Amino acid sequence: MNLECIPCFQRQAINAARMATDDPREQAKVLKRVVTALLEEPWDQNPPLLAQRVHGIVREELGPDPYSKAKRESNDMALAAYTLMKDMVSRSSDPLQAAVRIAIAGNVIDFGPADSFDFEGALEGCLFSDMPIDQCDAFKERCRDSSRILYILDNAGEIVCDRILIESIVDAYGEKEITLAVKGGYILNDATNEDVEYVGLDKLPYIDVVKVSNGERYTGIPRESDCFRALMDTFDMIISKGQGNYEMLSHYEDIYFLLKAKCGLIARDLGVPVGSMVCGKNSKVQ
């Protein structure tokens, strides 16, 4: 883990506290506990694992889902753009590639690396933005040849863009068995089964859902576990959204990562400028 992650975790704790309460004493209480935990925890662990510890404290102090209002607003914002996004796909000379780009653009909806985001701007520019890591052609071929796909979701709101991509895959190649990996418990603005149902993904007849852990017991399969590796091995294709899933899974060679490189650490690891769109496979997505 890079030292840059430590102040980022503190910022996340402050932002979550401000979402949950206006009381500066409660906000300070959360931050003090997080700072103490960061001093006690080993800093050589994978950043998402340390994030689980930090946000576990946030939930203990502020309630089970401090981001609930922000997540609902993100879902509503993306749902309002659903018809526009479908139109962007249908008008494109390469509809599936357009859907990939829209799914990546949706990754901007993230309260982890930043305090705010510009979804509308990301959507407006996504079809024409430079993509320094672009394996869309191979991605489309793999979609065509796969009957069972594991789609590892990232954030609320963003999952509406994922719905656009999932529907486009089925439109292009016929119905697939598609399993969505969602968080089984609350953390940041990560999508849960509640969000999947809210945006209507559960209504698609070919969709199943599996829960992955938020760091608490009994919330799902830990992504770092042998059990999750065994689950992945049962699918023909794996699609992983976002930076956190990239950090947890980038050592596996047969996953397609779709993300925006929103922080300097991830951008440097990928060898791309901050803000870049990425669609690629293998350990360093090359």
Domain that holds residue 224: 68-281
pLDDT tens-digit series, residues 1-43: 688 899 999 999 999 999 999 999 999 999 999 999 999 999 9
Which range is least confidently modeled, 45-49, 104-108, 138-142? 45-49
Query: Residue 113's pLDDT is what?
Result: 83
- How many domains is the chain partitioned into structurally? 2
| 286 falls within a domain | no
Q: Is the dihedral of CA 188, 194, 197, 199 positive or negative?
A: negative
**Whether residue 58 sits in one domain with residue 72:** no
Q: State which of 23, 45, 62 marks the end of a domain.
A: 62
Residue 109 pLDDT > 60: yes
Asked whether 38 and 10 are in contact (CB, 8 A), the reply is yes
**Whether residue 156 sits in one domain with residue 108:** yes
**Whether residue 215 sits in one domain with residue 89:** yes
Confidence of residue 80 (pLDDT cuts 50, 70, 90): very high
| 145 falls within a domain | yes
Q: Side by side, which strands form the sheet with 207-212?
A: 133-134, 277-281, 256-260, 237-241, 148-152, 177-183, 207-212
**Whether residue 86 sits in one domain with residue 37:** no
- In a 10 Å sphere around its CB, with 0-12 CB exposed, 13-18 middle and 19+ buried, how is residue 19 labelled? middle
Q: State which of 44, 62, 80 marks the end of a domain.
A: 62
**Whether residue 181 sits in one domain with residue 111:** yes
Structure tokens at 40: 């006690």
**Whether residue 223 sits in one domain with residue 135:** yes
Instruction: Kindly report the pTM of this predicted structure.
Output: 0.96
CATH number at residue 41: 1.10.8
Confidence of residue 83 (pLDDT cuts 50, 70, 90): very high
| 190 falls within a domain | yes
Q: State which of 62, 77, 111 marks the end of a domain.
A: 62
**Whether residue 97 sits in one domain with residue 56:** no
CATH number at residue 133: 3.40.50.10880
**Whether residue 57 sits in one domain with residue 73:** no
**Whether residue 250 sits in one domain with residue 129:** yes
**Angle at the Cα of 160 from the Cα atoms of 167 and 184, rounded to 5 degrees:** 105
**Whether residue 118 sits in one domain with residue 39:** no
Radius of gyration of the chain (CA): 18
pLDDT tens-digit series, residues 33-65: 999 999 999 999 999 999 999 999 999 999 999
Residue 282 pLDDT > 80: no
Alpha-carbon distance values, 4 to 1, 47, 113, 175, 184 (Å) = 8, 10, 11, 43, 28
**Whether residue 128 sits in one domain with residue 87:** yes
Euclidean distance between CA atoms 55 and 74, whole angstroms: 20
Q: What are the DSSP calls for the chain, one per residue?
A: --TTHHHHHHHHHHHHHHHH---HHHHHHHHHHHHHHHHHS-TTS-HHHHHHHHHHHHHHHH-S-TTHHHHHHHHHHHHHTHHHHHHHHHHSSSHHHHHHHHHHHGGG--SSS-S---HHHHHHHTTTS--SEE-HHHHHHHHHH-SEEEEE--BTTHHHHHHHHHHHHHHHH---EEEEEEESS--TTB-BHHHHHHTTGGGSTTEEEEEE-SSSTTSSB-TTSHHHHHHHTTSSEEEEESHHHHHHHTT-SS-EEEEE--SHHHHHHHTS-TT-EEEEESTT--
**Whether residue 267 sits in one domain with residue 129:** yes
Asked whether 63 and 20 are in contact (CB, 8 A), the reply is yes
pLDDT tens-digit series, residues 170-208: 999 999 999 999 999 999 999 999 999 999 999 999 999
